[in-house]
Chain A
């Protein structure tokens, strides 16, 4: 912050670039450069040896230290995202670096293994890391492709408005049901009381709502015996219309939840796998130094 005549000149993030293109793919270039250098050094070292350098070699230790350092730093994104400090930082830049440096781990860690795999804690740590990276790749795909669908789906309707719409449709149904007989009222009650908007994560992710109470109510409504009075007939017609509208609102809200579920879903693998990785990594490092 520079002071000039009582005026605070602050740094402003005004450039309009997504996290993948951040600063003209700066971090992609850094990560690629890192990979090229690492592969080059590895190759130069390997051609002079009978078998490729393992984790125990000087190069292995170097790559291992780099990899472990990167993993710990990458995991810090979770903290960076949540601690809103006043200083100059850009979460976008962090995410950009996180993505590309995270991908570079594929090269660094694989070379660190010296292509030696087995049923041990070391390979477990490697496998967990690859799982984290794979889930992260899903995340990149989701972040790069889904936002337009997410916003295209909702238009200018907010979550709150969707819920309000359903609530108001329920109120309309309740009022329209007044002249109905017991069977008719039961159908309306089914739609009002038993409709489950979201459900569990899996349900939201797959978007399968075949058992939706509103849908069943609509089906039963159409199969009701002919009403006895004109008043009831009119009410039934209106109820069918409102239920149809409710079905549309539900579909809109559920599509929204489905896209959100995909946008969030990969994190349910990425984050726990990261913690497992940190544990396995610790075990890997401790065991390596214990059994040296």
Chain B
């Protein structure tokens, strides 16, 4: 081996492969070293048929290999062909043992023997090639595997999955998906919870456990592996059980020791740290070694492939190469005043907008791809009250004014440069609460909800800034009374934001405490102990406050306030608030009035309790039942009065006929209490669980508060798994039915309502063509003038749609009493 390659690329994943293909196309002498006998082992080891996504969709792919979202098999075939066509010099089964030498003369030693000489080294080994291994005795036996290709391959086996991360849970669920395979599944998890897994995965796992389809052993570790048996350490001691196969998914770590041995330094000793690199991906501590892909901190395939292309250009001396996204950003920033270049714009926004201060130039690029920068003339509206919208705005130059009073646009509150607005939409996904106009020529950056959430999770500084501003605005909005940020600065200095678990109390009846609470998200219920029993007094939705009586009157707490669902509250200290009340008589009057109204309701219920105990108990228990059904997070829920429902299912038929022939509600399913039935139907939650992980961001909130799925749905099923109420189904619209009159006169077609499965199958066959299964849920008959069809089509008035605060009001006692 005397040849000295210009570039040696280690790892043939998307990044390495792309680099090699570029080098081959440019005619640069190169070698691609791959540990296994096939390209791109990480993708290769994905579950069979897995849909690989091509995010971020706005990013342009600049590579010699093609890549588009699709099935794992199709992508791998494509890459194999591309690599062959480019004439890449690949060496398979070439695991690297060590890298020594310096720029211009590296020696790469192979495990199988022999060495390769190269001037430059591109490290693209990713992180998955280094799975954490079973360390117990017998961990090297052949029935222990670290990947699962096709879950359909195994039948009638006792299988143990080790690891409670996403990979482990997805594998386990894949293996029990088809009960016909008759596998006996056990999942071992080292901890008591599953903190690293996605919530939908955990929920699905626990549901499968509750259904008896899988055994989940927490706080358990493998102790001894024997052919056909596994011994584990549980908190209760050791047990040995039958096990034909072990699938170990305990995560993977960057092969840090190997990388460091070559001379590449990492940013910190932290396990999740990345190597320190120049903007051209070159190691700062070891020139000549370039690090790209997941190992450099970019786990997305498209990023990896672009970096592969770019790094070869850098090595071959192309210093003027613009990033692949440069034209996109240029296009985006075109037409803005100021004649700045892309990098000047990036720096301008980064330094001017407070929440962007903590971003690196690379992060800024990525961030701006998702966002929009706009210039507004003085007086131009940025958004209008009641418009749907959930994006966040940052002011880079100029200022805006908020029209706080819908009846008088002249009353405005200013927001200045570097601050943000629109953050309420970010939290609740609701329509805009006020019109905002530019006060002077203004430049704003508009950040879509998903990008803003990503920003907040990645940059702690951004999260804190948003939290601080949100609290300030919320306090101003709730108490109004002409307060200014300066008035409440003292109150906010002691404010504390925290999460409350469902059922947890923030205030206990009888306690001596006097802080005031603001419900930021979720909702609370107020209970009072009457005659030894907790009686439901009222419902406190997000955006209101609680605890004012004790604060104003310095008396013990008169009732218990506890979370109906998982909520976020802001605790405001009493002393500075009382000082504020003393300074602001208008606010004091407002709060005293409201306190009196609340007290009257409490007193009414208490007096009723003495006279009509039954009615109050009923009211209280119905309220508690509905809270248990998750009504506390609903904004609009379908209820059925079973004393009126004749079971005609016209609601379901109407639903199907107004939505492509598929019903989005199941009348009969669901729970019932005191003649109130909560059918399986969307509640349009305040903070929709389904929105939490929608790759194409297809789940939106409409103008009437409805949560709906738009046509960009890719059918991934995340929302279905995320919904705790089981109201989302995956289905394809049935073929079109013949018109109703043909059914009425000649009996043609299946008639009103969702056609039966048999008819659908036959008609679909006759029609030909396959349509994919997409997520389907209630959209509250969005855009239909008459409102929800289920309610309109109920012949007896049994079906009603209600908001929780309207339904859980004392009016129900008056009716019953």
Interface residues, chain A, with chain B CB atoms under 8 Å away: 1, 4-8, 10-19, 22, 79, 81-92, 94-95, 142-143, 146-148, 150-151, 155-156, 158-160, 260, 263
Contact = CB atoms under 8 A, between A and B. Distances in A.
A11 B647 CA distance: 25
Nearest to B647: A150
A143 B646 contact: yes
Of residues B654, B785, B798, B802, which shows the largest number of chain A Cβ atoms within 10 Å of its Cβ? B785
Contacts of A89: 786, 792
A81 B384 contact: no
B795 A81 contact: yes
A158 B668 CA distance: 6
B552 to A, nearest CB: 34
Nearest to B793: A91
A147 B642 contact: yes
Interface residues of B, number: 52
A74 to B, nearest CB: 14
Interface in B749-806: 751-752, 781, 783-789, 791-798, 800-802, 806
B733 interface: no
Interface string B675-709: 10100000000000000000000000001100000
Q: Which DSSP category, helix, strand, loop or mixed, fits chain B's interface?
A: loop
Nearest to A10: B787
Nearest to B669: A158
B786 A10 contact: yes
Contacts of A5: 384-387, 435
A14 B799 CA distance: 9
Given A10-B785, A10-B786, A22 B797 contact: yes
B629 interface: no
A84 B658 contact: yes
A16 B799 CA distance: 8
18 contacts: A5-B386, A10-B787, A12-B791, A13-B791, A81-B650, A81-B793, A86-B658, A86-B784, A86-B786, A90-B792, A91-B792, A92-B795, A147-B642, A147-B798, A148-B643, A150-B647, A151-B645, A158-B668
Nearest to B387: A6
Contacts of B670: 156
Contact of B786 (A87, A158, A260): A87
Nearest to A88: B786
Q: Kindly name the residue among B388, B795, B798 whose own CB sees the greatest number of chain A CB atoms within 10 A.
A: B795
B796 A17 contact: no
A14 B806 contact: yes
Contacts of B677: 151
B98 interface: no
B800 to A, nearest CB: 5
Interface in B375-406: 384-388
A14 B703 CA distance: 18
B403 to A, nearest CB: 11
B387 A147 contact: no
Contacts of A263: 646-647
Contacts of A146: 646
Given A14-B800, A156-B671, A88 B787 contact: yes
A95 B795 contact: yes
B740 interface: yes
B642 A151 contact: yes
A142 B387 CA distance: 47
Contacts of A14: 800-802, 806
B816 interface: no
The 7 closest A-B pairs by CB, nearest first: A151-B642, A88-B786, A7-B386, A86-B784, A92-B797, A84-B657, A158-B668
B234 interface: no
B644 interface: yes
Contacts of B785: 1, 8, 10-11, 86-88
Given A6-B387, A13-B792, A84-B793, 18 more contacts: A4-B386, A5-B385, A11-B785, A11-B786, A12-B788, A13-B787, A14-B806, A19-B795, A22-B797, A81-B795, A82-B744, A91-B650, A92-B794, A92-B795, A147-B796, A148-B642, A151-B672, A151-B677
